[in-house]
Amino acid sequence: MTALVKDQLLKKVDTLPVLPRVLSQLLELDPAAPSWFDDLVKIVEAEPSYAIRLIGAANSMAAHSVTPITRIRDAVVRLGAREVSNLIISMSVVRVFVPRNDWERGLWTHALEVASVARALARHANMGLNFEQAYLGGLLHDVGRFIMFDVAPAALREVDEAAWDTPSQLVAAERGICGLDHAELGAEACARWMIPAHFANLVRFHHDKNVEVTLGGNDGRIGSLVQVADLAGFSAVSSSHTLPALVDLPAAEGEALLRKVLPAWYRDRIPGALAAVTQALAQADLVAEQVGVKPVSRKKPAAVAPGAVSARR
């Protein structure tokens, strides 16, 4: 049975639709280049569906403005170039797995939170880390779970009903039931989409206890921040997990928890990190609404199908 499920999952990867062209264009841009802003505007202007969504988002943020925004350039200025880039990346990936129910919307909300928190921590570190790499790595880290749900919902239900409370236990349960885990499956999906290796490796090793050593250098540092971002919201959808959500803790306790889970090289940067995480989670919720993935209820997802699964990951 396990071998059959694994074979079905890998066959699904071979038939995944390609990612929207706009995503590959964005990944080719250099955020440090002087022309980055203008290049970003040109990409958005060439994609009418994205342009409409961005103008709508900009006008939503500028609700008290006298003059409505009608130009892409003005929308990018209003939202911020990095926020626009991340919003387009999010919309592009969500188009591949359009959420059909609260379970999937909850998983996408989590992915957006991990992406936003990982990017915020990378920025707060002030070490020249690649913010976009942190964001996309966080966004894609659980994409293998979508494939599992699409192909083998009964197996995924069995995984979610197994006795696990930590990421390592989840991975072990997936391998025992499905023949591979969602990180491995997600990395296969990244290869299918021809996403650069350093992004795919973040997905592949985001539950590796030695992710920083495994990936090495700045890739390893970003990998460790994606891992921390994943843990930061773990209890939001897993009530049995022992780690409370950072945003539910008093500031002193939140900082103490961050001090435990952040890598050693981040320890002297702890002041301000909790505020960055809290702000990032708020921004992620706004993006979730803008791309249409925010679930009606994250605590008790609506029934999705026979053999429905919870939003744990």
> Of the candidates 64, 95, 126, which is a domain's last residue?
95
> Of the candidates 46, 63, 95, which is a domain's last residue?
95
pLDDT score of 300: 36
Q: Rounded mean pLDDT of the chain? A: 83
What integer is the mean pLDDT of 26-43?
88
- Structure tokens that stand for 8 in this block: 């079905």
pLDDT confidence tier of residue 219, bands split at 50, 70 and 90: very high
Residue 286 CA, distance from chain mean position = 14
Same domain, 246 and 285: yes
Tell me how crowded residue 16 is: count the other CB atoms within 10 A of its CB.
17
Domain total for the chain? 2
pLDDT confidence tier of residue 238, bands split at 50, 70 and 90: very low
> What are the b/e assignments for 41-80, b being 16+ CB within 10 Å?
bebbeebeebbebbbebbbebbeeeeeebeebebbbebbe
Domain hosting residue 45, numbered range: 20-95
Same domain, 12 and 67: no
Of 294, 290, 233, residue with least CA distance to 89: 290
Same domain, 39 and 180: no
Same domain, 179 and 133: yes
Q: Does the pLDDT value for residue 120 go beyond 80?
A: yes
Separation of alpha carbons 67 and 80, rounded Å: 18
Max avg pLDDT among 219-223, 239-243, 251-255: 219-223
Tell me how crowded residue 168 is: count the other CB atoms within 10 A of its CB.
12
On whether the CB atoms of residues 107 and 288 are closer than 8 A, the answer is no
Predicted TM-score (pTM) of this structure: 0.85
What integer is the mean pLDDT of 7-18?
89
pLDDT confidence tier of residue 172, bands split at 50, 70 and 90: confident
> Which tops the pLDDT comparison, 157 or 185?
185
Contacting residues for 37 by C-beta, under 8 A, at least 6 apart: 76, 81
Same domain, 26 and 128: no
> Which tops the pLDDT comparison, 257 or 245?
257
Same domain, 124 and 257: yes
Separation of alpha carbons 7 and 185, rounded Å: 11
On whether the CB atoms of residues 280 and 117 are closer than 8 A, the answer is yes
Residue 268, classed as helix, strand or coil, is helix
Burial of 306 (C-beta count, 10 Å sphere; 0-12/13-18/19+): exposed
Same domain, 3 and 82: no
Same domain, 195 and 254: yes
Burial of 102 (C-beta count, 10 Å sphere; 0-12/13-18/19+): buried
Where residue 293 sits, what CATH number does that domain have? 1.10.3210.10
pLDDT score of 21: 85
Same domain, 57 and 111: no
pLDDT score of 306: 30
Same domain, 164 and 268: yes
Same domain, 75 and 60: yes
CA angle 6, 229, 128 (to 5 degrees): 110
> Of the candidates 55, 71, 95, which is a domain's last residue?
95
Same domain, 255 and 135: yes
Residue 67 CA, distance from chain mean position = 34
Q: What type of residue sits at position 264?
A: A
Kindly report, residue by residue over 132-160, the tens digit of the pLDDT: 889 999 999 999 988 988 888 888 778 87
